[in-house]
Structure 1
Amino acid sequence: MTPSSTVARARWSLLVLFAVMGLTFSSWLTRLPSIREDLDVTSTQLGSLLIVGAVGSLAAVIVTGAVVSRFGSRTVLYVTAVGNMVGFGILALGVATGSVELFAVGAFLNGVCGAASNIPINLNGAIIEQRVGRAILPHFHAAFSIGAALGTLVGAWFSAAHVSASAHILIVAVVVGVVRLALIGPASALQPPTIGGRSAHVDGTPRPRGAAVRSALSAWTERRTVLIGLVILAGSLSEGSAGNWLSISVVDGFDQKEAVGSLAYGTFIVAMTVFRMAGTRVIDRYGRVTVLRASAVSSLVGLLAFGLSPSIVLAWVGIVLWGFGAALGNPIAIAAASDDPTRAAARVSVVTSFSSMAQLSAPPLLGLLADGIGARHALLTICAATVLSFVLAGQVAPLRTKSAPTDVDDAQAGPGAPADPPLDPIVADVTPDGGSTTAGGTLSRG
């Protein structure tokens, strides 16, 4: 197989893998109103249960960067695919029996496996983007959104057909799990090699023991990486809160049926998908910084319209604007964290840990607010996250070598050129202490 055909096969396999993962993780969220009834819990208690999954996510992302560096993304993806099948099975059993304890165990395992798969799947997307030579990472996130939109339709169909939430969750988990296992091989064909259970340098020689751990830990001391993590936190609060609370907000706030709530979340997903598909051209033309700031404004306007509108029609318009705004924040931040391929695993691990922090804090806080002021008005607190994303947008500007121009910004680039030039080609390697040396120049942010 030629290198170009390997890249093409990996690209299409990864697109489908993103899609099926989006389907499985969104599908069960549309049944949260039924799950709340089956478990006989309040919105506050449901929020506390959802936090268990976030705890699992946070525990996973702290170590996943080192694990991926040591064992490779393919191994991690296989293990997490099986783990998610088991986790959703336990979660479904908990819903079927009304067992809060089993539900919590399943949610925790899904949190661990979901977060642990998030890092390697995005790393593979970043590698393919670098091979292609233009911004395509939003396409992978668009595929996730397409899968998530299909998942909401699946959820609405199961709900309208009066299929129990537990049966729905189990069926989707098994089907998607099998598809994931079939796609992982070709989707991860471009992963760096591992030798003797240890990650390898780009020349194929194994790294010293402990280098992956030291590299992962050192990324936490990098100011730019941590601030990009806050951008991810803001994006995850916006996107994740819609997943957890949008359907409930429509059901409770506008006195609608569960199927309507599912379609509302589906509208949000479709809006994200449309803008993610168009986003690659927009990013190439206007740059990461400008697009991230515009996205923050769109999310803010959409959230205000949804949370304050007395009409479900106007609220639906707000959902669309919110979805547009939530579309590109996370893929832009992940691409920024992956600018230097030799440090990508460690840095993506750090920034995605902020996503888990968002998942950890948002469900109980929003659940508590939902019981007091209603879920729809509780979502207005996410407006603060959109402001944070706007303020920190400058941190996602691409890294460049010192030999590259460093004064290019959105205004200077002109209408015919990308506002954020891509990372100049570098030959780099990670040293045992987690730093990097470059043959093409020292990395800096323009």
Structure 2
Amino acid sequence: MDQLLTRAQYVRWRTAVFAIFLASGLSIATWASRVPDIKSTLAIENSQIGLLLLGMGVASIIGLSLASVVIARFGTRRGMLGAMLVFAVGVALIGFGTDVWASFPVVVLGLALFGFGNGAVDVMMNVEGAAIETHSGKTILPLFHAFFSFGTVIGAGLGALAAALDVDVAVHALVIAAVIVVIAATAFLNVPTREAAGDPVGEAKPRWRERLAVSLSAWREPRTYALGVIMLGMSFAEGGANDWLALGVSEEHGGGAPLGAAALAVFSVAMTVVRVFGGPLVDRFGRVATLRVLSATAAVGILLFILAPNLPLVFVGAALWGVGASLGFPLGMSAAADDPAKAAARVSAAATIGYVAFLAGPPALGFISDRIGLLNTLYILVALVVASGIASSAARPIAGSTVGAGHPHDRAEGPRG
């Protein structure tokens, strides 16, 4: 049995997981913001940057895939601590490999550790976030993902400041790595031990082989793949915007680089705002209805972005695109974790599908766009977000789960007070 939590313990747990999401975003933006300096210091070409990104992506997918094995063996609480320490070491190695040793292989190793740790902790922090949802009875995973976005904003800002002040990548990376270690240790002390999360409870030894069998069983469940379709479409939409929206504005719509960056900022702000305030909407209308409306919004936004005859409408399309793509991933995670006993396995499986799309989708779009043009390629995103909307019924809460059920559940309970 999991321990009963006081209000103070619950608040500390929730705050700790908010901090973990923020630390993950902070680490990713730290690396991304210093890529120009890393390229310059190591005197490497864009093709070698591409190899770094490929290695990090492969390591991330391995981390995602093995997260359920780590949870089965060590539990979510200890697993998060270990994964965060791994990607903190990775961040430090990226810095030292750049400025101290000037070694491309060391940077590759750092990015591999960075990607693996971030991939693994992504599953675990979503498992914890879903458990907090269940404990509170409210949809708050979108808010956790908003904290990830806050982390990327903070990391990008600090990275820009460090670059402007000519701070070595090694010094910058070491400071961020130390911050991540502090967050990891503090979070570990404030995340409760939960039997449902595989944490060792009492004197009994964890039956990790049995939990591993449960983890692998998630890949045999049709609902896993239906949730994967939801997350795949929305991940393509988000990843495609991050990598190609600015270029679409600057080149295809003739807006130039500054307006391209501004349009991407509009997309990102729209997405973050909905993630901050979207939870109550989901609790009011339900996961399925929300996903259907948002998939339609994303499709309209992308179509408007493609077909708009002037730049103001392009910006409106970017905003609708961000709104529509905002909640697909967190709500897919929430749905995957409806059953606490199988949350780790299902979140790992669904997240793997979503992140493969997020990491592999944009490069695929680039390859296709060389043949048919970038704006024409974005029609693929329209088809995928429509498919997400069609599959959204898979996100309906399972029997016994009330989070994300919407107002019909409230009416069934009768009046309160």
TM-score using structure 2 length: 0.82
Q: Please show how residues 329-408 of structure 1 align to structure 2 within 5 Å.
A: 329-369=328-368, 381-401=380-400
1:358, distance to aligned residue in structure 2 (A): 1.4
Q: Distance in 2 between matches of 1:85 and 1:199?
A: 23
Q: Is the 8 A contact 1:226 1:351 kept in 2?
A: yes
SS across alignment from 2:139? coil
Q: Is the 8 A contact 1:7 1:190 kept in 2?
A: no
Residue of structure 1 in register with 2:141 after alignment: 137
Q: Is the 8 A contact 2:87 2:114 kept in 1?
A: yes
* Residues 335/26 of structure 1: CA separation in 2 closer, same or farther (3 Å cut): same
1:282, distance to aligned residue in structure 2 (A): 0.8
* Residues 368/140 of structure 1: CA separation in 2 closer, same or farther (3 Å cut): same
Residue 138 of structure 1 aligns with an amino acid whose one-letter code is P
SS across alignment from 2:399? strand
Where in structure 2 are there 5+ consecutive unaligned residues? none
* Residues 300/175 of structure 1: CA separation in 2 closer, same or farther (3 Å cut): farther
Where in structure 1 are there 5+ consecutive unaligned residues? 423-446
Q: Please show how residues 125-274 of structure 1 align to structure 2 within 5 Å.
A: 125-158=129-162, 161=164, 163=166, 166=169, 170=173, 173-192=176-195, 205-246=204-245, 254-256=255-257, 264-274=263-273
Size of the aligned set, in residue pairs, is: 405
1:350, distance to aligned residue in structure 2 (A): 0.8
Q: Tell me the alpha carbon deviations over residues 251-303 of structure 1, each in whole angstroms, 9 at most, x when there is no partner.
A: 6664325xx76655443332222111221111111110111111112222333
SS across alignment from 2:147? helix
1:46, distance to aligned residue in structure 2 (A): 4.9
Residue 66 of structure 1 aligns with an amino acid whose one-letter code is V
Identity of aligned residues (%): 32
Q: Tell me the alpha carbon deviations over residues 350-374 of structure 1, each in whole angstroms, 9 at most, x when there is no partner.
A: 1111123214422432343466677
283-292 vs 266-275, greater mean Cα deviation? 266-275
Residue of structure 2 in register with 1:124 after alignment: 128
Q: Distance in 1 between matches of 2:376 and 2:412?
A: 40
SS across alignment from 2:256? coil
Q: Distance in 2 between matches of 1:89 and 1:26?
A: 14
Q: Distance in 1 between matches of 2:175 and 2:374?
A: 27
Q: Please show how residues 69-84 of structure 1 align to structure 2 within 5 Å.
A: 69-84=72-87
* Residues 2/81 of structure 1: CA separation in 2 closer, same or farther (3 Å cut): closer
Q: Tell me the alpha carbon deviations over residues 91-132 of structure 1, each in whole angstroms, 9 at most, x when there is no partner.
A: 345666886655443333222111100111111111111111
RMSD after superposition:
3.7
Q: Distance in 1 between matches of 2:95 and 2:24?
A: 17
1:167, distance to aligned residue in structure 2 (A): 5.8
Residue of structure 2 in register with 1:63 after alignment: 66
* Residues 358/378 of structure 1: CA separation in 2 closer, same or farther (3 Å cut): same
SS across alignment from 1:400? coil
Higher share of residues assigned helix: 2
Q: Distance in 1 between matches of 2:411 and 2:154?
A: 33
SS across alignment from 2:195? coil
Residue of structure 2 in register with 1:433 after alignment: none
* Residues 24/370 of structure 1: CA separation in 2 closer, same or farther (3 Å cut): farther
